[in-house]
């Protein structure tokens, strides 16, 4: 009954969902493309058994990269399918894997759309990244005997509270999950509280620690510093949301008052906001360049990063990174990308999406928390004027990354039994009556 009511609500909400999809499409054309896939309609790829990994957007795709690589290496005969929800996630999959994996958008959680999706892919193993819980999708996986694992699983206290009104529905969905591989003991405890079978919940660590550095990122960063002037102070505001750009710009004005040659790199989280950030920088009187135009000169005060998949070279080129989504209650973004490049990190007060990682980084001395936009400006000024402290923090941040690696190996071990069953089904050609 709960799932029936949920399904009715999903059908009633579908016009609103489609309208939102269209509204986003006016700002980012990628949302208009391949819209039929959102309802499980796409050409049958002819897969008779595959490994399916779902990663909602860019961050989850990046986190899934080492695991997908490990799965493909160990089980090479099986085709790999990767689904996303966002066009930026889709672009990232294409850039990382090209045509070596089959990519399609995950359909909306409507029974017929999910059925079409599963009928075309015929997965023998489903691996869902982080916190994606879809009742109809999980139910159909269970009905069809498709082994389902939630890996790199995270669940904040805030999310746990939000799930409470529908906990019975979520518990029913989680009953179809063979494995929850949690990032931390706190995440594992919350999944058990949410209704996951305790014996199926294990701690594997965070896959983000195992993300490999893009080839040539450090070298490209060093080349950029030579172009800009390797003695000028450079800091980055990464993955900003509405309300955070102004804070970054105000902080940079304070920095310029003390260090006139300082350069701010700023990257909005969502591509549809690139132009708005550029216009705001111009309106505030900054000398502005963009990644797309590539016209940075000694007079440039602000570089707007208006491209996807280029952040690591800019992290490599900066002296200090402010990881946004944390001055506003978004929950923060991935602090490990700059940390892996030995860059000190600043975060705001809202980091519940990366609670354990951020805490570890702060306790180790590789990151600092700022309470407000004003405090951000003061912290940036202080650190950019103290090269010894920047070096110490950067080394501490990198040490945390090295210490915590190994989640891919642990996750693969935990997937062993589930994967063995999936391989058996694929090699034997076993398909349930419903899947046919």
**Based on the domain organization, do 375 and 260 belong to the same domain?**
yes
Q: CA nearest 296: which of 380, 219, 229?
A: 229
In angstroms, what is the C-alpha Rg of the chain?
Answer: 22
Note the pLDDT of residue 29.
67
CA distance 171 to 426: 29
The predicted pLDDT at position 104 comes to 96
For 429: left if phi > 0, alpha if psi spans -120 to 50, otherwise beta; the answer is left
Other Cβ atoms closer than 10 A to 275 = 14
The pLDDT assigned to 77 comes to 85
Active-site annotation, residues: 60
CB 236 within 8 A of CB 267: yes
Torsion of CA 91, 210, 121, 126, to 10 degrees: -140
Residue 432: predicted pLDDT = 43
Q: Is-contact 152 356, C-beta < 8 A?
A: no
Distance CA 227, CA 349 (A): 34
The count of domains in the chain is 2
Are the beta carbons of 21 and 49 closer than 8 angstroms? no
Going by pLDDT thresholds of 50, 70 and 90, the confidence category of residue 429 is: low
Q: How far apart are CA 324 and CA 240, in angstroms?
A: 5
Residue 435 pLDDT grade (very low, low, confident, very high; cuts 50, 70, 90): very low
Structural domain including 93 reads 11-18+25-205+406-428
Determine, yes or no, domain membership for 212.
Answer: no
Kindly state whether residues 160 and 273 are assigned to the same domain: no
**pLDDT tens for each residue of 333-390:** 999 999 999 999 999 999 998 888 999 999 999 999 999 988 999 999 999 999 999 9
Helix axis angle, 355-364 to 185-194, nearest 10°? 160
> Per-residue pLDDT for 46 more than 60?
yes
pLDDT at 431: 46
Q: Are residues 373 and 234 in the same domain?
A: yes
Q: Say whether both 358 and 377 belong to one domain.
A: yes
Whether residue 161 sits in one domain with residue 231 = no
pLDDT reading at 5 higher than 70: yes
Asked whether residue 413 is assigned to any structural domain, the reply reads yes
395 and 414 co-located in one domain: no
- Phi, psi for residue 80 in degrees, rounded to 5: -110, 135
Indicate whether 100 and 71 sit together in one domain: yes
Q: What is the pTM of this model?
A: 0.83
The answer on 229 and 323 residing in a single domain is yes
Please give the average per-residue pLDDT across 61-90, as a whole number: 92
CB 332 within 8 A of CB 370: no
Residue 2 forms part of a structural domain = no
Looking at 100-104, 159-163, 319-323, 338-342, which range is the least confident one? 159-163
Identify whether 131 is part of a domain: yes
8 A C-beta contact, residue 208 and residue 353 = no
- pLDDT of 430 reads 53
Query: Averaged over 123-150, what is the pLDDT?
Result: 94
For residues 394-417, one letter each, b for 16 or more C-beta atoms within 10 angstroms of the residue's C-beta and e for the rest, the string is: bebbbebbeebeebbebbbebbee
Task: Please state, for a pLDDT cut of 90, what percent of the chain lies above it.
Answer: 75
Residues 145, 250, single domain; the answer is no
* Alpha-carbon torsion (147, 436, 53, 55), positive or negative: negative
List the CATH number of the domain containing 399: 3.40.50.2000
Out of 106-115, 209-218, 278-287, 392-401, least confident range = 209-218
* CA nearest to 258, candidates 274, 235, 242: 235
Closest by Cα among 222, 239, 213, 223 to 337 = 213
Q: Is residue 3, in this structure, part of any structural domain at all?
A: no
Question: pLDDT at position 422, please?
Answer: 59
* Residue 435 falls inside a structural domain: no
Residue 434: per-residue pLDDT = 38
Residues 399 and 410 in one domain: no
Whether residues 33 and 118 fall in one domain: yes
Q: Tell me how far apart the alpha carbons of residues 198 and 213 are, in angstroms, rounded to a whole number.
A: 35
Tell me: do 396 and 415 sit in the same domain.
no
Which domain CATH number covers 126? Answer: 3.40.50.11720
At 53 the pLDDT is 97
Which among 68, 53, 206, 229 has a CA at the least distance from the CA of 126?
Answer: 53
Higher-scoring residue by pLDDT: 294, 319: 319
330 in a structural domain: yes
Tell me whether residue 5 is in a domain.
no
């Amino acid at each position: 009954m709960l799932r029936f009511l949920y399904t009715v609500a999903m059908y009633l909400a579908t016009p609103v969902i489609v309208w939102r999809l269209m509204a986003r499409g006016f700002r980012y054309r990628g949302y208009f493309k391949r819209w039929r896939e959102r309802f499980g309609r796409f050409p049958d790829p002819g897969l008779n058994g595959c490994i399916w990994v779902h990663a909602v957007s860019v961050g989850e795709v990046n986190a899934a990269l080492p695991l997908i690589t490990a799965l493909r290496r160990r089980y090479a005969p099986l085709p790999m399918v990767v689904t996303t929800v966002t066009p930026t996630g889709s672009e990232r999959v294409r850039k990382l894997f090209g045509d070596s994996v089959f990519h399609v958008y995950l359909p909306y959680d409507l029974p017929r759309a999910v059925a079409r999706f599963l009928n075309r892919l015929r997965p023998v193993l489903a691996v869902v990244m982080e916190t994606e819980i879809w009742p109809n999708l999980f139910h159909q996986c269970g009905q069809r005997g498709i082994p389902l694992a939630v890996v790199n699983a995270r669940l904040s206290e805030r999310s746990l509270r939000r799930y409470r009104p529908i906990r019975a529905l979520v518990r029913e969905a989680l009953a179809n999950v063979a494995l929850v591989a949690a990032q931390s003991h706190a995440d594992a405890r919350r999944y058990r509280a949410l209704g996951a079978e305790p014996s199926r919940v294990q701690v594997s660590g965070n896959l983000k620690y195992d993300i490999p550095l893009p080839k040539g990122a450090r070298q490209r960063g060093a080349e950029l510093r030579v172009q800009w002037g390797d003695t000028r102070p450079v800091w980055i505001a990464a993955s900003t949301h509405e309300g955070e750009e102004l804070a970054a710009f105000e902080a940079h004005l304070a920095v310029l008052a003390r260090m006139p040659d300082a350069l701010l790199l700023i990257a909005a989280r969502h591509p549809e906001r690139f132009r708005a950030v550029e216009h705001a920088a111009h309106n505030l009187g900054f000398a502005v360049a963009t990644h797309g135009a590539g016209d940075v000169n000694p007079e440039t005060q602000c570089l707007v990063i208006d491209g996807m998949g280029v952040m690591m070279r800019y992290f490599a080129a900066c002296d200090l990174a402010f990881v946004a989504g944390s001055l506003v209650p978004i929950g923060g973004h991935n602090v490990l990308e700059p940390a892996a490049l030995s860059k000190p990190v600043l975060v705001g007060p809202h980091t519940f999406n990366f609670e354990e990682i951020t805490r570890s980084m702060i306790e180790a001395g590789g990151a600092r928390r700022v309470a407000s936009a004003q405090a951000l400006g003061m912290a940036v000024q202080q650190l950019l004027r103290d090269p010894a402290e920047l070096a110490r923090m950067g080394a501490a941040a990198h040490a945390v990354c090295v210490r915590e690696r190994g989640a891919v190996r642990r996750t693969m071990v935990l997937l062993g039994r589930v994967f063995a069953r999936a391989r058996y089904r694929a090699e034997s050609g076993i398909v349930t009556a419903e899947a046919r």
